[in-house]
Structure 1
Amino acid sequence: MLTACGGGGEAPGRGPAGAGAPVPVTTTVVQPRQWNDSVTALGTVNARESITVTAKVSEIVQRVHFESGDEVTAGSALVTLSGNQQQATLQAAEAAAIDADSQYRRGAELVESQLIARASVDTLRAERDAARATVAEMRANIGDRTVRAPFAGVLGIRQVSPGALVTPGTPIATLDDIRSVYVDFPVPETLLARVAPGQTVIGQVAARRGTRFEGTVQTIDARIDPNTRAVMVRAGFENAERLLRPGMLVEVRLQQAAREALMLPEIAVIQVGRDTFVFRVKDDDTVEQVPVTVGVREQGLVEVVEGLEAGTRIVVDGTGKLRPGMTITEGSVQEAKTPPADEAGAAGAAQ
């Protein structure tokens, strides 16, 4: 009667080692493989050169030589400011310089004839040099009334018009050299040993889904931020097609040198509280729990740092129904979830 009620029976696969029907699972043999570690972070695009063009003097805009978005070369005139008063002052200074030079030449001839003292010639020479300096100063002042591009690049939106009054610091337009760009991104100090100049960096931006930008690490900041405990890393990217723009948010991945690692499918590793283990298959097709220490996790794989050796056979799929000591057979998850029809019929007949 007890047997008929099932009181003395064992559930299939849950009795002592080898008892019950084998549980179908998927297994694999652990083998080392080449693995590239990577460090991921978020960075910001910065132009190779970037300024906000402003004037050095307060004056009325006489002419604007560019339109928004123009590409300009170094030295191109961008804005001409009014300078009529300075032109008149320059003409007066040039006339005074010519007169001072004539006075000096005449004095030099007279001193040779010993008609005037040499001290007088020295005075005339000083007056000539001062007049020339005044002319140079006025020319520089007029030059400041033509705002020029200090380097080649792309102009932003124009922010002035003819007739507007500009003062030192008034923005005229932005100018960015984006033929190549920088991406600055933080790296935790714990990963600093993995970063070195020359390493390859892969970047992706939301505006260009599916496009990978490849650059190299150029500089590692000399200081670590005491608040974030991270160091700023700068990578350089060629940008001939102008796809990267200053201010863009970039997801960067810093590639590491290849190394050998024991990488398992992530579903094979079981986490229960603070314990991490896998099911190892023994020679008699029974399983046992093996504690492991894991490392990096990426792309559905996890690295086993301690606990397993190369050549060990482990269970990958179907671990949910396993207990230590159970017998397994190579199968699929579907087989593990749904018993064959003949077994189901036999079980019904027994009941």
Structure 2
Amino acid sequence: MLCVSLYEQQGRHCGGANIQRERGERVHYFTRRAMAGRTSSWGLLLWLLAGVCAADTGVRVGLATVETTDILRDLRLTGTVTAQHDASLSVAAAGLVADIVVDTGAQVAEGDVLLRMDAELAQLRHAAAQAQVAQAEVRARDAQRRLQEAQSLLPQRSIAETTVRELVADRDAARATLQQVTAEASLAQALLARHTLRAPFAGVISLRHTERGEWLTPGQAVFDLVGLEDLRLDFAVPEDYLASLQEGASITFTTAARPAQEFTGTVASLVPVTDTAARTFLLRIAPADSARDALLPGMSVSARLALATGRQGISVPRDALVRYPDGRVVVWTAKPEGGALVARENTVTTGLAFAGQIEITRGLTVNEQVVVRGNEALQPGLVLAPTGDTP
């Protein structure tokens, strides 16, 4: 009603400009002729009206209460996703590459064949060993049969005891020979198996180092295999933070591929002073199950840890701070005066920043109401209208 009355008064001073009200709700604009004659006066009136209406309703703001909290220290780190299983595979026997079954990028299961070598000679040795086993088995059975026949004649004294003892020795020798050739056959089988390279664990072939027809020797890298299970995050952390970290502590991290999505994890292990030159230690993080599908070995990750400082203090939401070009840092508070909340400017000194909060070391007290929304253009003394939009 106050705003409408002022419009009407301005209309009377505009040289016959007409203002009409419809049901007390809407006001028509002035005629073009009247407006042309009173442009500067009209602008001044609008400014006054804005001030009057703002004073009538109050500036809409969001408030938060200053509280005592545990002061934390934010530690931001950049690390790498690593795999628990990461191996450079080699063959166990020298020979020529006969067949390459997989290539770079292939996903394999544990036990899958990756490469076959020329195994002709190994196969022949294995076949010869198996033949010797067959012969030894026949001889062992024959020696046992002859011994049993001789032992059956002893009661009739139809055979000398010396002969029986000799047959026992022959039987034992045949058994020993069978054991020997069986072991040799097993050795030949193992050597033959070494001409086939299999995946020791499930993963992806990250690099292939050989070609068909190449001569390989034990210890020479053939494939790089990286497991996609049991991933972890490795960070190099300055040793100054060692005492503040504990196994099982939770962290928040993001990946370069999904910078807007936050994931969680826990501290799995701490390895002090792994780099003596840089004086850093290895911090290993176990990601939560919900993050595993977003991680691949070699990815860059950024983590944020909130470390305890062992002290308490007051803090406010980060949005409560207003910084000016002259270096001042201000927090606006809502003070009750005359039945209304009035804006008051407070110059503050800040401390540590953590978890969206800013420590205030000077300028505020506990339980004060600070403005966290709508504080960009406040002036001292303005009436405030809290909206309930608080952090």
Comparing 48-57 and 210-219, the one that deviates more = 210-219
Query: Residue type of the partner of 2:366?
Result: A
* 2:141 is the alignment partner of 1:105: yes
Structure 1 SS opposite 2:229: strand
Distance in 1 between the 2:354 and 2:233 partners? 24
Distance in 2 between the 1:315 and 1:99 partners? 97
Structure 2 SS opposite 1:74: coil
RMSD of aligned Cα (Å):
4.2
Larger-gyration structure (1/2):
2
* Cα distance, 1:306–1:109 mapped onto 2, change above 3 Å: farther
Distance in 1 between the 2:314 and 2:325 partners? 16
Distance in 1 between the 2:138 and 2:370 partners? 102
Query: Residue type of the partner of 2:217?
Result: T
Structure 1 SS opposite 2:314: strand
Structure 1 SS opposite 2:234: strand
- 1:30-80 CA distance string (max 9 Å, x none): 711667654221212111311122212221111111232121111000111
| Deviation at residue 271 of structure 1 after TM alignment | 11
Distance in 1 between the 2:300 and 2:174 partners? 65
Contact 1:49 1:177 in 2 (8 A): yes
Aligned to 2:300: 249
Aligned to 2:264: 214
* 2:110 is the alignment partner of 1:74: yes
Query: Residue type of the partner of 1:251?
Result: S
Contact 1:266 1:301 in 2 (8 A): no
Structure 1 SS opposite 2:103: coil
Aligned to 2:174: 124
* Cα distance, 1:98–1:80 mapped onto 2, change above 3 Å: same
| Deviation at residue 81 of structure 1 after TM alignment | 0.5
Query: Residue type of the partner of 1:164?
Result: E
Structure having the larger proportion of residues in helix = 2
| Deviation at residue 163 of structure 1 after TM alignment | 1.8
| Deviation at residue 184 of structure 1 after TM alignment | 1.1
Q: 2:352 aligns with which of 296, 300, 304?
A: 296
TM-score, normalised on structure 2?
0.61
Distance in 2 between the 1:123 and 1:72 partners? 48
Query: Residue type of the partner of 2:141?
Result: R
Aligned to 2:220: 170
Distance in 1 between the 2:291 and 2:332 partners? 53
TM-score, normalised on structure 1?
0.67
Q: 2:99 aligns with which of 46, 58, 63?
A: 63
Contact 1:270 1:278 in 2 (8 A): no
Instruction: Among all aligned residue pairs of Structure 1 and Structure 2, give the percentage whose two residues are the same amino acid.
Output: 25
Q: 2:255 aligns with which of 194, 200, 205?
A: 205
Query: Residue type of the partner of 2:98?
Result: Q
Structure 1: segments with no counterpart, 5+ residues: 1-27, 317-327, 333-351
Contact 1:104 1:121 in 2 (8 A): yes
Contact 1:199 1:256 in 2 (8 A): no
Query: Residue type of the partner of 1:152?
Result: A
- 1:74-109 CA distance string (max 9 Å, x none): 100011110101111111111111111221222222
Comparing 294-303 and 185-194, the one that deviates more = 294-303
Give the number of equivalent residue pairs: 290
Aligned to 1:21: none
| Deviation at residue 141 of structure 1 after TM alignment | 0.4
Aligned to 1:32: 67
Structure 2 SS opposite 1:100: helix
